[in-house]
């Protein structure tokens, strides 16, 4: 009888242990990815590529929530208020992480409150003109801007595209009035509709319009041509000496997320970005897969923050 009791007790203990192990398995419920911009831009597209393939990989639902506003601050606030358990993530461009804190007070510490999981893509910026604006080259742009005041749309005040536009103005000695939008997609639609003659923005929403002839690509911000759009020259090649402004998109978790969950998510991102289908979608939008480790991403953030901080201090540029 004691043998049977011992066996039943052992089985009960094993069941408890199995249940505890199952409870600790990550992930075992829905993961939420916050996209702090409207649908349609590079960040939204990249977030959805990650969500779709992560769901397939881990066998749990992965949902995307668009929470635009305040140059990503609304989405970041949501993240920092969430439990640090790996089930709430955010995809961000570089500007809220490395630029905004140099411009004004923000309600988060990018180095302490945001735990980098991985860079996802490099995201070249692209300068385009409305097809009916009569601007097909940098030379045309210089002539047009000297003939009359021109406006240039940007993804948001304080965004990388905003400062790229400022650098363009200074490099060419032009007066261009920056017009901020609430993300890359609204800026792209604005230039295609002729609301502004020029836009400096990310690539996802604008590339289909370039290919359809609705807008004219004048150049990309990277110092070398992009493998995703090799037919578009760099701005250096197009006639803006020494021009370079890089951007990236990365996945983050809130402060306190366990290292093992960060490492698991990092490995999943690397697997996703090696998938031919994921690469095809991203490259078609001008986005180059570029995963790295959490430690490497922290170094990227520190280096970029120092670079942008020095530039903002030296030039006196402000997001206004």
The residues with which 254 forms a beta bridge, in sequence order, are: 114
Task: Work out the average pLDDT over 55-69.
Answer: 96
Q: What is the CATH number of the domain that holds 46?
A: 3.40.190.150
Question: The tokens of 155 are what?
Answer: 């993804």
pTM, whole model, 2 decimals?
A: 0.79
Closest CA to 174 of 240, 219, 221: 240
d(CA 269, CA 201): 25
d(CA 111, CA 232): 35
Predicted confidence (pLDDT) at residue 315 exceeds the cutoff of 80: no
Digit-coded pLDDT (tens) for 155-201: 887 788 888 998 899 899 999 999 999 888 899 999 999 999 999 99
Instruction: Supply the range of the domain harboring residue 228.
Output: 126-238
Predicted confidence (pLDDT) at residue 236 exceeds the cutoff of 50: yes
Say whether both 133 and 230 belong to one domain.
yes
Say whether both 150 and 228 belong to one domain.
yes
Task: Work out the average pLDDT over 243-256.
Answer: 93
On whether residue 21 sits in a domain, the answer given is no
C-alpha gyration radius of the chain: 23
Which pLDDT score is estimated for 9?
53
On whether residue 19 sits in a domain, the answer given is no
Say whether both 44 and 193 belong to one domain.
no
Q: What is the CATH number of the domain that holds 185?
A: 3.40.190.10
Digit-coded pLDDT (tens) for 80-96: 999 999 999 999 999 99
Predicted confidence (pLDDT) at residue 258 exceeds the cutoff of 80: yes
Say whether both 198 and 58 belong to one domain.
no
Domain count of the fold of the chain? 2
The residues with which 92 forms a beta bridge, in sequence order, are: 250
Other CB atoms within 10 A of residue 241 CB: 8
At residue 320 the predicted structure's pLDDT band, cuts being 50, 70 and 90, is low
């Amino acid at each position: 009888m004691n043998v049977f009791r011992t066996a039943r007790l052992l089985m009960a203990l094993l069941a408890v242990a199995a249940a505890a192990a199952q409870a600790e398995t990550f992930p075992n419920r829905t993961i939420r990815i916050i996209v702090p911009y409207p649908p349609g831009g590079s960040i939204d597209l990249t977030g959805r590529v990650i969500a779709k393939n992560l769901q397939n990989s881990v066998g749990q639902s992965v949902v995307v929530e668009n929470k635009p506003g305040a140059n990503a601050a609304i989405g970041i606030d949501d993240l920092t208020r969430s439990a640090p358990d790996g089930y709430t993530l955010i995809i961000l461009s570089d500007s809220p992480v490395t630029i905004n804190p140099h411009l004004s007070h923000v309600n988060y510490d990018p180095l302490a409150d945001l735990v980098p999981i991985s860079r996802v893509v490099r995201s070249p910026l692209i300068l385009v003109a409305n097809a009916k604006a009569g601007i097909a080259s940098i030379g045309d742009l210089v002539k047009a801007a000297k003939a009359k005041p021109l406006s240039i749309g940007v993804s948001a005040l304080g965004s990388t595209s905003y400062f790229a536009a400022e650098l363009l103005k200074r490099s060419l000695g032009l007066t261009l009035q920056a017009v901020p939008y609430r993300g890359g997609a609204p800026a792209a639609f604005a230039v295609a509709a002729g609301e502004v003659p020029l836009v400096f923005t990310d690539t996802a929403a604008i590339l289909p319009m370039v290919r359809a002839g609705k807008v004219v690509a004048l150049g990309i911000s990277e110092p070398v041509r992009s493998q995703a759009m090799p037919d578009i020259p760099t701005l250096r090649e197009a006639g803006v000496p020494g021009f370079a402004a890089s951007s990236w998109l990365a996945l983050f978790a809130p402060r306190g997320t366990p290292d093992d969950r960060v490492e698991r998510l990092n490995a999943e991102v690397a697997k996703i970005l090696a998938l031919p289908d994921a690469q095809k979608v991203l490259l078609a939008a001008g986005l180059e897969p570029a995963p790295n480790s959490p430690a490497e991403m922290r170094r990227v953030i520190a280096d970029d923050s120092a670079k942008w901080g020095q530039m903002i201090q030296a030039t006196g540029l402000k997001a206004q």
